[in-house]
Amino acid sequence: MSNVPLIHVEDLKERIDSGDLPFLLDVREPQERAICNIGGLLIPLDQLSRRIGELDPERETVVYCRSGSRSAMAAEFLLAHGFHNVKNLAGGILAWAMKIDPTMPTY
């Protein structure tokens, strides 16, 4: 599938709880984010190439979407454009809802 490093929701939750928060990039659409989100900057995947300047290539970035497919594409794009510390959230926000916050609405 992809050579992008993964971070699992349990590991991300542990890091958030410890105050070691990576930069979160949500590549879903605004209507998806309105249903549920875990924070982060919203840049839909189709806008990423023109909005890449809003991101810091030196900062650790965790990219997420609904299930992990779009975020894998976004992470590959970032890695190809000079970002070195990018991870894809394995399973996306669906995995977060299933394993971390079962009260979170899903779609």
Reference 87, options 42, 21, 36, 18; nearest CA is 21
Given the residues 65, 72, 86, 97, select the one marked as catalytic. Answer: 65
Q: Count Cβ atoms below 10 Å from residue 21 Cβ, excluding itself.
A: 14
Q: Mark whether 65 is an active-site residue.
A: yes
- Amino acid sitting at position 6: L
What type of residue sits at position 84? H
Q: How far apart are the first and last CA of the chain?
A: 24
Question: Which residues are known to be catalytic?
Answer: 65
